[in-house]
Chain A
């Protein structure tokens, strides 16, 4: 049973560019959350999607946007990239009933902005 898969695994972008990261949730999961993890820090909540709508949002600017598709997969888009956006971006999937033993993280996408 495949877990959470994220693509690409690594990405290098230039300041000002736009980037799209992708996530496929674990089979049977219906909720996808995105986190940003800066080097040496714990993950920070960006937003969560359920039924193709954003349910919750953390303290991130509007440059960060997302989407969830009917098959529950999700995308994270970041516009006008800044150097400070360099981080590991983690996707986590779960059931909406908050079964946290089922809250599964992917291996992440390492984004470097130069």
Chain B
């Protein structure tokens, strides 16, 4: 089974910009992996932030964007707010195999 890697933790200043990445042990992440990003705050169910690389459900704030960057999937937060402090998970799909979550990134806004 593929291993999906994320930064364990990142810190961003309020109003700052940060990019979270999602890599695959099988090689370059492409649109064919249909990358998803999820946000989870303590004690709450996850929420879908980004699907299919860069598409957003209606609730996703404009300051979040998804892309492919340097062979990985990327989630960029521009203009971080205190309420963006959360755990972020990516999910990659694999042809002929099952989707795999990354280990998650704990984002601190400080």
Q: Do A and B bind?
A: no
Listed in ascending order, the chain A residues whose CB lies under 8 Å from chain B are none
